[in-house]
Amino acid sequence: MMSPELEPLAIDHRGKILRGTLYMGNGPEVMLLCHGFGGTRTGPGRLFVEMARALQAEGTSVLTFDRIGHGESCGSLADVTIEDEIAQLCQMLGAGPARGRMVHVVGHSLGAMEAASLAARMPDRIASLTLLAPAAAIVDDVARGQIIGRSLGPIRAGGIVEHDGQAVAAPIVDSARTFDPYAGLRSYRGPVTLHHGTADRLVAPSYSERYAKLLPRATLHLHDGVDHDFADVALRRRIIAGVQMHTAVPEAA
């Protein structure tokens, strides 16, 4: 079996380079994959690689980027803000085959929260949404004095907290204090599929339940005993199959 065709992508975002991969398909549909906080464009446990290959095999072109401060892209995790990450997603909609087209979007964790906000702001560009454990919890966590399960004390004192050996600092905390993850969601009337594990210790399923109430065409799937990274082979196959159902529908539908 031949390896899938991959093309490197690079976007200049405010003087910093976003690096990505294009899985070029031979059909009209285009998908953007959005990783979580501290993750990379391969997704949790390479979920996005598996998803991109499956979609490419049936003709869909897939774009997946490392956001600033992640993976191979420029910058530091310490400089990340939510609004700038959404601005990066907006810019990704102009890359390669996504330019000028309706785009299907899949997001995981913080990437899912930001993907939903992207759809609320640019509903005419988003063909469908698949949200995996959207991490709107970050707003409530910061209000309670925490981030990624750690006290904000060191950050308040001008320092950092660590996440997988990387520095997390004031910018993302300050941005979370003023961010409304639910703003404008009712304006997006495309199809939305939500997945959330009942054993998710980072983001409670109640956050996906709230998204399901606000997004007019949302369908919510709760998965018993599944964690934040959807570490279940059979479930991943079902999630990918559901994403393929979105891309099988003509974008004008």
Backbone angle region of 59, left / alpha / beta, with phi > 0 → left and psi within -120 to 50 → alpha: left
**Helix, strand, or coil here: 115?**
helix
Exposed, middle or buried: residue 157 (CB in 10 Å: 0-12, 13-18, 19+)? exposed
Looking at residue 113, the DSSP 8-state letter turns out to be: H
Which pLDDT score, from 0 to 100, does residue 250 have? 60
Q: How would residue 40 be classed by pLDDT, with cut points 50, 70 and 90?
A: very high
Determine the average pLDDT of the residues in 228-240. 98
Task: Please report, for the domain that includes residue 235, its CATH number.
Answer: 3.40.50.1820
CA distance 140 to 147: 9
Report the number of distinct structural domains present in the chain.
1
179 domain residue, yes or no: no
Q: Which domain holds residue 68?
A: 6-136+189-248
Residue 138 has pLDDT above 60, yes or no: yes
Residue 25 and residue 56 in contact, taking contact as beta carbons nearer than 8 Å: yes
pLDDT band at 3 (very low <50, low <70, confident <90, very high): low
Number of residues written out for the chain: 253
Does residue 175 lie in a domain region? no
Is 180 inside a domain boundary?
no
- What is the CB neighbour count within 10 angstroms for residue 10? 12
Note whether residue 110 is domain-resident. Answer: yes
Residue 85 domain flag: yes
Distances from the Cα of 75 to the Cα of 89, 118, 166, 188, 244, angstroms: 16, 22, 12, 31, 33
Q: Does 148 reside within a domain?
A: no
Answer whether residue 252 shows pLDDT above 60: no
**106 domain-assigned:** yes
